[in-house]
Amino acid sequence: MSNHLKFFIDGAWVKPEIPVALDVIDPSTEEAYTQIALGSTADVDRAVAAARAAFASFSQWPKGERLALLKRILAEYEKRYEDIAQAVSREMGAPLGFAREAQAAAGKGHLGATIEALERYEFTERRGTTMVVKEPIGVSALITPWNWPLNQITCKVGPAIAAGCTMVLKPSEIAPISGIIFAEVMEAAGTPKGVFNLVNGTGPDVGQVMAGHPDVDMVSFTGSTRAGIVVAKTAADTVKRVAQELGGKSPNIILPDADFEKAVAEGVTACFGNSGQSCDAPTRMLVPATRHDEALEIAKTAAEKLKTGDPRADGTDLGPVVSQTQFDKIQRLIEAGISEGATLVTGGPGRPDGLNRGYYVRPTVFGHVTNDMTIAREEIFGPVLSVLSYETEEQAIEIANDTPYGLAAYIQGELGHARKVASRLRAGSVYINYPEWDLFAPFGGYKQSGNGREYADWGVHDFLEIKGIVGYGD
């Protein structure tokens, strides 16, 4: 029987206190294919109470027992791998191959990385006459987004378990089914009752209630900067820790010594992956002014090679964006790029040819963009690339840093040169020459892209309090 209309609280699937249902939309058809229950304050109270009751015991579990639990969770995740991939493809429109090879794989990768990090993590350190002890912070509220659902669920749940915290998870109500399957994974792994709880719902009715709850000790939030500000303000009244991974407008500097054609073409692919719905996507490509038109030709060719269409069809590179709201926002920003004088190289408003239904966006490249244009300032969260020019390296660095965001930055060029430029970029992650994904690199942002860091042992840190026990002298 489906658990779509239930929550997972205190080790059991339960009905909401107030039955309210929400349609879950398949963005490729614009039609509802299932419903979920929406939670309320009463449901949050039940879940937080269960987590609070479980904390006293679970926080004292030895590291070895927490490791064993994480390994069981990973084993159960692998059993449900295809179910998870199918759910992500349906709920957010990811091409099925991408859902398997990237979306579901991200969850598996994070669980494995957390296990490896915990195996060598030390929770005590002797400093002279003081024993420094790292202890679980307590009940944690985990609020995750729709664009990389399993990535964000596992890089919060795994470290919280590793630290010895209990938790309440609110997945995005836009893409919630993969989160429900993950709760079934947690149940099948034998997670003690109350340690992991799931309540679906909206940001105002569940997320904010969790953030302000007096029995929640910390909030780990991933989402928009706008929503992150609301979460932080709500949490401030109870002076709880808030870790946030928020929006981005990441620059991609193509240095003069880069393999130009390769760097530009791969930059298009990196920007448009996941239909452009990644907070760290390299959406502002900076190229030498003397090669701007050349870059536009390369980018046009690369963008027009990508096939947009049915996420369940073979050969699809880009699926739809997740919702009508996102589609409308992207269309508004594409129109803004045109009206503000950017050169429309390819793509533009409306759906791709032959697609009359679904939230499909034409892969779009703008050239001759200046950094004061709306498309260079706002996070678009769709397959839209802005190409900007620079005259000097100093100007490139200045443009790259001229943003309220600071989640990621990208540099293409000779390695030694690129490393020098990397040291001057104000971003939490800098990627040189499109490297392989590193699950052990810290992930998080500067400025309005958030605070705190996730992935592996970096994620564990956020769920720990530091205690100094003085008096360990001989």
Question: Side chain identity at 69, as an amino acid letter?
Answer: L
- pLDDT at site 213: 98
Tally DSSP H helices, then E strands, for the chain.
Answer: 16, 20
Distance CA 371, CA 369 (A): 7
Q: Is residue 269 part of a domain?
A: yes
- Same domain? 100 vs 43: yes
Could you list the residue range(s) of the whole structural domain that residue 183 is in? 7-246+449-470
Pairing of strands 251-254, 284-288: parallel
Residue found under tokens 């900067």: 225
Q: Cα 227 to the chain's mean position, in Å? A: 14
- CB of 9 within 8 A of CB of 47? yes
- Same domain? 412 vs 465: no
Residue found under tokens 């024993």: 131
> DSSP secondary-structure letter at 264?
H
Total domains in the chain come to 2
Domain CATH code at residue 397: 3.40.309.10
Residue found under tokens 């709760």: 183
- CB of 413 within 8 A of CB of 256? yes
- Same domain? 434 vs 359: yes
Q: Is residue 2 part of a domain?
A: no
Q: Which two tokens stand for residue 464?
A: 């720990």
- pLDDT at site 263: 98
- Same domain? 461 vs 406: no
Distance CA 428, CA 451 (A): 9
> DSSP secondary-structure letter at 436?
P
Centre a 10 Å sphere on the Cβ of residue 132 and count the other Cβ atoms it contains. Answer: 15
Q: Which residues contact 163 (CB under 8 A, 6 or more apart)?
A: 134, 136, 137, 460, 463, 464
Q: Which two tokens stand for residue 369?
A: 């963009």
- Same domain? 20 vs 133: yes
15: nearest Cα among 27, 6, 24:
6
- pLDDT at site 1: 59
| φ/ψ (deg, to 5) at 302 | -65, -45
How is 74-95 classified by DSSP, letter by letter? HHHHHHTHHHHHHHHHHHH---
Distance CA 147, CA 90 (A): 12
Q: Is residue 1 part of a domain?
A: no
Indicate the pTM of the whole model. 0.97
Q: Is residue 107 part of a domain?
A: yes
Distance CA 382, CA 157 (A): 27
Helix (H) or strand (E) holding 221: strand 218-222
Triad 107, 113, 119: Cα angle to 5°: 140
- Same domain? 19 vs 127: yes
93: nearest Cα among 289, 318, 259, 267:
318
Q: Is residue 216 part of a domain?
A: yes
Centre a 10 Å sphere on the Cβ of residue 222 and count the other Cβ atoms it contains. Answer: 26
Question: Side chain identity at 376, as an amino acid letter?
Answer: A
> DSSP secondary-structure letter at 273?
G
Q: Which two tokens stand for residue 339?
A: 């009206």
Q: Which two tokens stand for residue 218?
A: 């910390």
Q: Is residue 97 part of a domain?
A: yes
Q: Is residue 30 part of a domain?
A: yes
Torsion of CA 246, 287, 419, 460, to 10 degrees: 10
Catalytic residues: 245, 279
- pLDDT at site 473: 82
- Same domain? 77 vs 201: yes
- Same domain? 94 vs 234: yes
Q: Is residue 444 part of a domain?
A: no
Distance CA 474, CA 462 (A): 32
Triad 187, 457, 183: Cα angle to 5°: 15
- Same domain? 290 vs 421: yes
Centre a 10 Å sphere on the Cβ of residue 15 and count the other Cβ atoms it contains. Answer: 11
- Same domain? 35 vs 84: yes
Domain CATH code at residue 228: 3.40.605.10
- Using CA atoms, how far residue 60 sits from 56, 66, 137, 302, 303, in Å, is 7, 10, 12, 54, 53
- Same domain? 275 vs 391: yes
- Same domain? 140 vs 159: yes
Distance CA 361, CA 384 (A): 9
**Binned average pLDDT, 10 residues per bin, the chain of 474 residues:** 93 97 98 98 98 98 98 98 98 98 98 98 97 98 98 98 98 98 98 98 97 98 96 97 97 98 98 98 98 98 98 97 98 98 98 97 98 98 98 98 98 98 98 97 98 97 98 85
Q: For the chain, what's the residue count?
A: 474
